[in-house]
């Protein structure tokens, strides 16, 4: 990595890609935070749910040739269904069991979904990305950077959903119940809130977010079963920056992560710089925000 060889001219373009990538991570991270806050479970299968839903969209809109928005809809439905199944069949019966047991169950789901998708859609085959919006774009005035309409849409959808989630949590009855369950499930139950129903709602909503994130990210990364499953790590890093509890900081973390992953491309040709950036940020987040005695750490 020699600075003299740096290609600074690439930076503006990388910024655009980084921000768009960050938007999709933000969506995935919101799902993680939602599920974690309400049920206390860190969902390792989040990326796998995103991946499986995305392949449903692929099946509908690329293989069957139906419109892209129908594929997205199918993906969201699949995400909600998976969230419901995971919660209802494998989380609820374990009420009162150690959280780590439930977390390992989500790893089981990761393995199942990943292997099943590899069986159905072939792990190493080339998959055409799910196309929602035209790829043509416009030039940012005064620069040479072209922004695709698809990229713009991705960013807008991510921001709208992030704000929407915040609004739902803040202003609706369901949101208030979710916050109540997150703070103290026992007290919430005494207030007449159906903890089970709220928990299920958080899993379904969180998984739907994962599905949307998965569909939106397909043009940006290698579209195969493994790579999509792994966006759970990116979502974790973003969520960790928000201490797993704060939505705004998780969204901010997602954008930081997106940019940090893209910028090294300007300086080095080494492969895997994405992962190095992710890993570095992960270590920093764990070391700084989760050091013993740090504020607001929810012991899980």
Partner 1 sequence: MSDLRLVRWTAVGVGVALGVLIPALLTDFLRTLAADAAIAGLIVLSLVLLTGMVGQISFCQYSFAAMGAFTVGSLVAGHHWDFWLALLVGVFFAAVVGVLVGFVALRLSGLFLAILTIGVALFFDRFVLAAGNWNSFSGGLSSWRPGRPSFFGIGLRGEYAFYLFAFGVLLAACLLVWNLRTGKTGRVLRAVRESEVAASTVGLNLTAWKLTAFGISAALAGLAGGLAAVRVGSVSAGSYDFLHSISIAAIAIVFGAGSIASAPAGGIFLIFGREALIDWTPFSTQWFDVILGAGLIFQLVHAPDGVVVDIERRITRRLRPPRQMPSESEQRSPERVPAEVG
- Site of interaction with partner 1 (CB under 8 A): 42, 44, 89-90, 93-94, 97, 99-101, 103-105, 107-116, 118-119, 123, 226, 230, 233, 236, 240, 270-276, 278-279, 282-283, 286-287, 290-292, 300
The C-alpha atoms of residue 280 and residue 300 are separated, in whole angstroms, by 24
146 versus 283: smaller Cβ distance to partner 1: 283
> How far apart are the C-alpha atoms of 8 and 37, rounded to whole Å?
41
Helix axes of 173-183 and 195-217: crossing angle, nearest 10 degrees: 110
Distance CA 258, CA 263 (A): 9
Residue 145 CB, nearest approach to partner 1 (Å): 27
Angle subtended by helix axes 11-39 and 195-217, to nearest 10: 160
Q: How far is the CB of 278 from partner 1 (least distance, A)?
A: 7
Classify 41 as helix, strand or coil: coil
| Shorter beta-carbon distance to partner 1: residue 173 or 287 | 287
The whole-angstrom separation of Cα 96 and Cα 164 is 32
Closest CB to partner 1 among residues 193, 282: 282
Least spacing, CB of residue 150 vs partner 1, in Å: 26
Number of helices and strands (H, E) in the chain? 12, 2
The residue among 63 and 283 lying less far from partner 1, judged by its C-beta, is 283
CB of 258 to partner 1, least distance (A): 17
Count Cα atoms within 13 angstroms, Cβ side, for 207: 29
Q: Pick the closer one to partner 1 by CB: 124 or 136.
A: 124
| Residue closer to partner 1, measured from CB, 291 or 295 | 291
CB of 69 to partner 1, least distance (A): 31
Q: How far is the CB of 174 from partner 1 (least distance, A)?
A: 26
Q: What is the DSSP string of 63-114?
A: IS---HHHHHHHHHHHHHHHHHHIIIIIIGGGTTS-HHHHHHHHHHHHHHHH
């Amino acid at each position: 990595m020699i600075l003299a060889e740096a290609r600074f001219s690439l930076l503006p373009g990388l910024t655009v890609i980084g921000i768009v990538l960050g938007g999709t991570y933000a969506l995935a991270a919101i799902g993680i935070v939602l599920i974690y806050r309400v049920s206390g479970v860190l969902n390792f299968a989040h990326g796998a749910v995103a991946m499986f839903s995305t392949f449903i969209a692929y099946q509908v809109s690329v293989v069957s040739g139906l419109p892209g928005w129908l594929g997205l809809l199918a993906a969201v439905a699949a995400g909600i269904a998976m969230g419901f199944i995971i919660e209802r069949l494998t989380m609820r019966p374990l009420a009162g069991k150690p959280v780590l047991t439930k977390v390992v169950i989500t790893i089981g789901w990761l393995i199942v979904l990943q292997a099943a998708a590899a069986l159905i859609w072939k792990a190493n085959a080339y998959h055409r990305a799910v196309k929602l919006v035209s790829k043509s774009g416009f030039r940012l005035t005064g620069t040479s950077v072209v922004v695709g309409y698809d990229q713009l849409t991705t960013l807008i959808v991510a921001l709208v959903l992030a704000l929407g989630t915040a609004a739902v949590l803040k202003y609706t009855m369901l949101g208030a119940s979710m916050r109540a369950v997150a703070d103290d499930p026992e007290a919430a139950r005494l207030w007449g809130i159906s903890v089970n129903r709220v928990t299920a709602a958080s899993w379904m909503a969180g998984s739907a977010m994962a599905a949307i994130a998965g569909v939106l990210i397909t043009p940006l990364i290698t579209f195969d079963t493994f790579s999509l499953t792994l966006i759970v790590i990116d979502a974790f890093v973003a969520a960790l920056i928000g201490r797993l509890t704060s939505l705004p900081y998780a969204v901010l973390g997602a954008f930081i992560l997106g940019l940090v992953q893209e910028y090294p491309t300007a300086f080095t040709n080494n492969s895997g710089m994405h992962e190095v950036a992710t890993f570095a940020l992960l270590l920093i987040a764990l070391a700084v925000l989760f050091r013993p005695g740090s504020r607001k750490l929810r012991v899980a």
